[in-house]
A and B are shown apart, each in its own frame.
Chain A
């Protein structure tokens, strides 16, 4: 009897440990295995990506539909290439879709906002967005402002 309760409590302890791992994975870190499968990749090149990082959100009208997977530099044009993974349910972006790097709040995180265009054709897996708007860099803005003041 004594041995049974001992084994039972050890079993419950181990079970609690594994359940905690599952809670940490699913509830705290938001690990979602199903979402990774149904997605396709599109690229966009920006003159300046500002503070955009991998895992940043990709949104349309404020709704998150994917995320940034990878950021690299194009050696020829010296522009930043952003690789985005988009949920497969949203595959009706036209080829003239515009992408902009936006900021949440005044000092918040950077994310990508997409605005669909009016073209007939849709972006395919591996497609590329040409109409892009770079991140707002505060230093450039202040510089421009000062320059205009001086010119006045």
Chain B
């Protein structure tokens, strides 16, 4: 019994230590004020690796999710003779929920895992230690650009995902199923509010961006530097960030759209 309570305490202390380590880690890597002319090329490179290279998967899945939503919505709404409401359903579900969440999940799988593996391999091959030896702060040189690139690119990807999704839904609803063009857009514009829907979606995606890149980069920096450790940390990144995104999404939705 006492041993069980001790093990509980040990795991609690361990969790607390990891949390504290990751907190000081993210603060330290973001607090150093960088020289702009040196930092921008580094950030650019990471924006390319994290953002631009994630574009294909985001665009393709956005297109298909929009098309499927439109098709499903149409088959249900047409029974009630209100198939024009497809536009409204499409825009609200994409902008409020599916856009930020699905993009964050895809981002965790595509960019988060590769960030973890990259930093992990740097640690395993002792590149990070060598940087410290020659007097370069790895937090500022390696970690900070990757964190910032994550913060910037995920909201951008979410916006692109939303627009592509609505475009895909428009294709299916209007061009294929023959919903009237004008009522599709006007229903959408009547139902969607810029501040309440679009801005809240963006705020959500910024929160997700922070969570996913933090988890990904910290898992890479904190892993056991063996090939097995890298594999485990990559899995952890995807699992933890997916769970964190879904849980955080519920809380944010309750705060933003719930009536209390």
Contact = CB atoms under 8 A, between A and B. Distances in A.
Q: Do A and B bind each other?
A: yes
Interface of A: 3, 6-7, 9-10, 12-14, 16-17, 20-21, 23-25, 27-31, 55
A13 B166 contact: no
Nearest to B59: A16
A31 B185 CA distance: 13
Interface residues of B, number: 29
Given A25-B194, A30-B189, A14 B48 contact: no
B156 interface: yes
B61 interface: no
A17 B154 CA distance: 10
Given A6-B45, A10-B51, A28-B188, A17 B197 contact: no
Given A9-B52, A10-B51, A16 B156 contact: yes
A28 B47 contact: no
Most buried by A among B95, B163, B185: B163
Contact of B44 (A7, A12, A25, A28): A7
A interface: dominant SS: helix
Nearest to B43: A10
Interface in B5-45: 41, 44-45
Given A10-B51, A25-B194, A28-B189, A16 B91 contact: no
Interface string B179-211: 000000100111011100110001000000000
Contacts of B95: 24, 28-29
Interface in B42-73: 44-45, 47-48, 51-52, 55
Given A13-B48, A13-B156, A17-B155, 18 more contacts: A3-B41, A9-B48, A9-B52, A10-B51, A13-B52, A14-B47, A14-B156, A21-B202, A24-B198, A25-B194, A27-B189, A28-B192, A29-B91, A29-B189, A29-B192, A29-B197, A29-B198, A30-B192
A31 B47 contact: no
B51 to A, nearest CB: 5
A24 B190 contact: no
Given A6-B44, A29-B193, A13 B198 contact: no
B160 A20 contact: yes
Interface of B: 41, 44-45, 47-48, 51-52, 55, 91, 95, 153, 155-157, 159-160, 162-163, 166, 185, 188-190, 192-194, 197-198, 202
B interface: dominant SS: helix
Contact of B163 (A7, A9, A20, A30): A20
A27 B185 contact: yes
Contacts of A7: 44
Given A17-B156, A29-B197, A31-B194, A24 B163 contact: yes
Closest 7 CB pairs of A and B: A30-B189, A17-B156, A20-B159, A29-B194, A29-B192, A20-B163, A31-B194
Nearest to B99: A24
Contacts of B45: 6
15 contacts: A3-B41, A6-B45, A10-B52, A13-B156, A17-B157, A20-B156, A23-B163, A24-B95, A24-B159, A27-B189, A28-B91, A28-B95, A28-B162, A29-B91, A29-B192
Nearest to A7: B44
A25 B51 CA distance: 22
Given A6-B44, A27-B185, A16 B160 contact: yes
